[in-house]
Structures are given as C-alpha cells and as structure tokens.
Amino acid sequence: MTLEFTLTRNPSPVADDARERVLAAPGFGRHFTDHMVSIDWTVDEGWHDARVEPYGPLQMDPASAVLHYGQEIFEGMKAYRRADGSVWTFRPDQNARRMQRSAARLALPQLPEEDFIEAVRRLVEVDEAWVPSGGEDSLYLRPFMIANEVFLGVRAAETVRFMVIASPAGPYFAGGVKPVSIWLSREYNRAGRGGTGAAKCGGNYAASLLPTQLAAAQGCAQVLFLDEDGTDLEELGGMNVVLVKADGTLITPDSDSILDGVTRNSLLQLAEDAGHKVERRPVTLAEWRDGVADGSITEAFACGTAAVLTPIAALKSTEEVIGDPDAPAGPVSTALRQQLTDIQYGRAEDPHGWMVQLTGAR
C-alpha cells in the first residue's frame, strides 16, 4: 500500500524577491527550499506519517544512534526545468532502488520505490518556484535516511526517519567545463572488500575527507582511490571513473566496493547506442599509465549527478603524472556530456524513457 502524504505549508516562505536573488546565483548546497519531506519508520508500525512540512532544523536527542554510529544513507538527484516551464527528473527509479540496496547494507528499512518517487514529486510540486531555469541550473534533491532511535547500544536502530530536502544548484563549473587533475591516493582507501563501498552512506564520505585534503594541498580537487591491493582503479570520493581508448572503447572498473552510479550507467548506455564498445572489468593503474604512454588511452573522465561529466586531464601522485594537466577535453567526453544534458533538459529525444515529469508547463 502506498503512503498518503499530508501537507503543512510553510507560514513564512522566503519572499519572492529574496528567492529570485538566490536563483540568480545559487551556488551549490547552501540554500534550501521552503519545505521538506519526512517519513517515519518503526519496527512495529513500518513506514508512516508521510508529510511535506516547513523546512527547518530537526530536534534531535543527543543519544540518537546516527550521531554515534553513522547509520545513515543518502541519494543525490536533480529536477530540471525545461524551456516550456515544466519540471522533470532523471531516472528516479534508479535512485529509489539504489537507496534500497544501501539500506540493506546499513541495516536500515527499505522505502518502497513508489513512495520514494512520490516523496520527491510532492516536494518539487510544493517548491516548484525554487527550480531554476536556464543554463545548467537545477534543483538538487537530497533524499536521506537516519537512525533516530535514542539508544547507545550497538545494533540496528528500531526507529528511523527518511527525509528529502532540496537546494537550487548552479552550473558545477562556473566558467564552463574544465578538465581537472586528480590526485592518486596511495596511503588511503575509501572502501574495502566486504565493506560499505557500494552503499551511498555518509561514512564513505567521512573516510574520503582526509585524503581529499591531502589532494587539495597538491592542487587537486579530487582523489582517485585504488582497491585495497593498490593495483586496480576504484573511483573518486563521489564520482565514478571511465577511460576512453583510441579505438573508441570505454572502460570502467567493475568492483564490489564502488558506487553504481546512475550517471555512469547512462553515459555508457549512450556510448553503446552510438556504437562504442563498453567494458566493465577490473582496470589496473598500470593499464592507464601504459595506455597513456603508448597513445591507446586518449581520454579519461569522472562522472556523477552533481557535475555530470568532468574530463580528467591528468592523474598525479608522488611518483608520477599520467596525462597532460593542460590537455583540453576530449571529443568523446564532450559529446557524451552534451548528449546526456540535452536529454535531461528536454533538448533532445529521450530514447530510453529516462525522464519523469514532475510538474506541468507554465
């Protein structure tokens, strides 16, 4: 049975002119809309009390389990406004199902797919005015789930809350897409065999912060992690990685400890549609190094919902630089990025039926 949502309107929403000022330069993750979704879960009652309510701070008992043991998962997706004013989102079923897989790993309850999608739809409907238009702007949607049982014993919580908040987002790259250099983490991993690497949980991000600080000190915004043996590529702190060969083949690591990105899967599908060969298999660092040296690997990119696709110009470490930090974006990366964003903003056909409409034209 699907959940019934109640709506309590925010009695003091952000004024129109103040909202328009935010939408003119939203940045990322700093401004939030007038409402949020909450759904509670208990062992006895299951999911209940689904509601859209005014955005605001949570009152939490300091003994809430999530604050101590990190039993938390999240998702990241976007709502896009089209030229006709309608608002759409991209493959929400994929995010709903991935959250169920993350929940299973973190011993959290699974929210049914239709309730997840309805939660997102309700929030975007009530905060429709917060969806920016133009450029590569969007409304970033952040579903998440926390263990809010008040108990310091170590076991899976018996009370949980699912929430969705929304934040207008500008283009990830203010000055257009720019290839980046990334830092190879030799000392630290983000995940290991049998760990939580395939789940979208806050703990994985916590583990990536120190290596990311070290990367920043080397002038790199992002870190590439290897597997625990230090031989195979895994992924960045929050983005998947893909290599492109001179013959057009796309290669991406296959591993149980990386996050199964919706952006990566979609870009690889578009590449296959365009006749590229796609390989999902273990990829060694040596293969990247040798391929760049002999010219058989011509491009690399990182991908995820927030930045869509970021070309990787070079991989740096204390030992070496693979690639050319000044290299421009390659043709395959550029074309795939354009194709995917054209579908997301309704500028191109959607051959796989990925887009889901949330609100009507205006």
Q: Which residues of the shown chain bind ligand PLP in the complex (CB under 6 A)?
A: 76, 200, 204, 235, 238-240, 259, 261-264, 304-305
Percentage helix, strand, coil for the chain under 3-state DSSP, each rounded to 5: 25, 30, 45
Please, which residue, 19 or 78, has the CB nearer to ligand PLP?
78
Residues 6+ apart with CB under 8 A from 53: 8, 35, 36, 37, 38
Q: How many residues does the chain have?
A: 362
Using DSSP bridges, classify how beta strands 72-74 and 222-226 pair: parallel, antiparallel or unpaired: unpaired
Strand partners, 146: 72, 161
Q: How far is the CB of 95 from ligand PLP (least distance, A)?
A: 7
Please, which residue, 13 or 203, has the CB nearer to ligand PLP?
203
Please, which residue, 159 or 310, has the CB nearer to ligand PLP?
310
Q: Which two tokens stand for residue 245?
A: 């060969």
Strand partners, 150: 64
Please, which residue, 26 or 261, has the CB nearer to ligand PLP?
261
Residue at 173: amino acid letter: F
Please, which residue, 39 or 259, has the CB nearer to ligand PLP?
259
Please, which residue, 128 or 235, has the CB nearer to ligand PLP?
235
Q: Rounded CA gap, 208 and 168, in Å?
A: 25
Please, which residue, 65 or 259, has the CB nearer to ligand PLP?
259
Q: How far is the CB of 300 from ligand PLP (least distance, A)?
A: 15
User: Element (H or E) spanning 48, and its range?
Assistant: strand 46-54
Please, which residue, 83 or 209, has the CB nearer to ligand PLP?
209
Residue with tokens 């604050």: 67
Q: How far is the CB of 259 from ligand PLP (least distance, A)?
A: 4
CA distances in angstroms from 157 to 73, 100, 102, listed in the order given: 13, 16, 15
Q: How far is the CB of 348 from ligand PLP (least distance, A)?
A: 19
Please, which residue, 240 or 310, has the CB nearer to ligand PLP?
240
CA distances in angstroms from 82 to 19, 137, 335, 340, 341, listed in the order given: 19, 11, 21, 14, 12
Strand partners, 166: 141
Q: How far is the CB of 56 from ligand PLP (least distance, A)?
A: 26
Q: How far is the CB of 77 from ligand PLP (least distance, A)?
A: 8
Q: How far is the CB of 53 from ligand PLP (least distance, A)?
A: 26
**Which long-range contacts does 325-330 make (Cβ < 8 Å, 24+ apart)?**
325/181, 327/179, 328/179, 329/177, 329/178, 329/179, 330/244, 330/298, 330/299
Q: How far is the CB of 34 from ligand PLP (least distance, A)?
A: 25
Strand partners, 72: 146
Q: How far is the CB of 265 from ligand PLP (least distance, A)?
A: 8
